[in-house]
Chain A
Amino acid sequence: GNSVTQMEGPVTLSEEAFLTINCTYTATGYPSLFWYVQYPGEGLQLLLKATKADDKGSNKGFEATYRKETTSFHLEKGSVQVSDSAVYFCALSSGSARQLTFGSGTQLTVLP
């Protein structure tokens, strides 16, 4: 079956530090990959996505590249801000099923 593994949290960084959150997946076929972000007390917001190998998704300074050879979709940002503090979820959808399979989430706290 499908599965997503995210790096364990929580992650605490200082403002302007470099961020990497690792995500690897197992899936049948060629999945679409997503990063969602959840701010306290809110639902999930789509951050970025990629639908085929070597695609790079990007949004608000965040980037992730779909690596088929390593089955990875790591999230990166060059300079984090306090406002980036949230929980980040890696997810995939595969085949004809539209359901999303999520990782366990990574709590990010950015200190001023």
Chain B
Amino acid sequence: KAGVTQTPRYLIKTRGQQVTLSCSPISGHRSVSWYQQTPGQGLQFLFEYFSETQRNKGNFPGRFSGRQFSNSRSEMNVSTLELGDSALYLCASSLGTSGKTDTQYFGPGTRLTVL
């Protein structure tokens, strides 16, 4: 079974621009979560989507948004980029069940650099 894929792998943008990152989950997984990884803040949860609905949201400004499509693929968008948005953005997919055995599997990440 193919793993979680993320595109693009690398992005360079300038301040003020916007960016869209894409994530394709493992086949059969309906939940997609996004995380930001930086050297200073570590791994932080952005949001989770399940059946095209945002089910949970972390403590990030409204410039960070996402969506999920009917095939469970997800995109996240960052508008008005700031230097501090430079990070590795990780997508994780899971079945999305309520049980304790639900496990998130991560993609390789998109490395965003803001100049």
Contact = CB atoms under 8 A, between A and B. Distances in A.
Contacts of A89: 43
Interface residues of B, number: 27
Contact of B31 (A43, A51, A98, A105): A98
A46 B33 contact: no
Contacts of A93: 102, 104
Contacts, number: 59
B109 A43 contact: yes
Contact of A32 (B6, B35, B100): B100
B40 to A, nearest CB: 10
A43 B101 contact: no
Contacts of A43: 4, 6, 90, 106-109
A100 interface: yes
Interface in A19-73: 30, 32, 34, 36, 42-46, 49, 51-52
A50 to B, nearest CB: 10
Interface string B20-41: 0000000000010101000000
B66 interface: no
Contacts of B100: 30, 32, 51-52
B56 A99 contact: yes
Contacts of A32: 100-101
Give the interface size class of chain A. 20 to 34
A100 B90 contact: no
B45 A49 contact: no
B103 A46 contact: yes
Given A46-B104, A98-B55, 13 more contacts: A34-B103, A43-B90, A43-B108, A52-B100, A91-B43, A97-B56, A98-B33, A99-B48, A99-B56, A100-B35, A100-B92, A102-B43, A103-B42
28 contacts: A34-B103, A43-B4, A43-B6, A43-B107, A43-B108, A43-B109, A44-B92, A45-B106, A46-B105, A46-B106, A49-B103, A51-B100, A51-B101, A93-B102, A98-B31, A98-B56, A98-B94, A98-B96, A99-B33, A99-B56, A99-B58, A100-B33, A100-B35, A100-B104, A102-B42, A102-B43, A103-B42, A104-B42
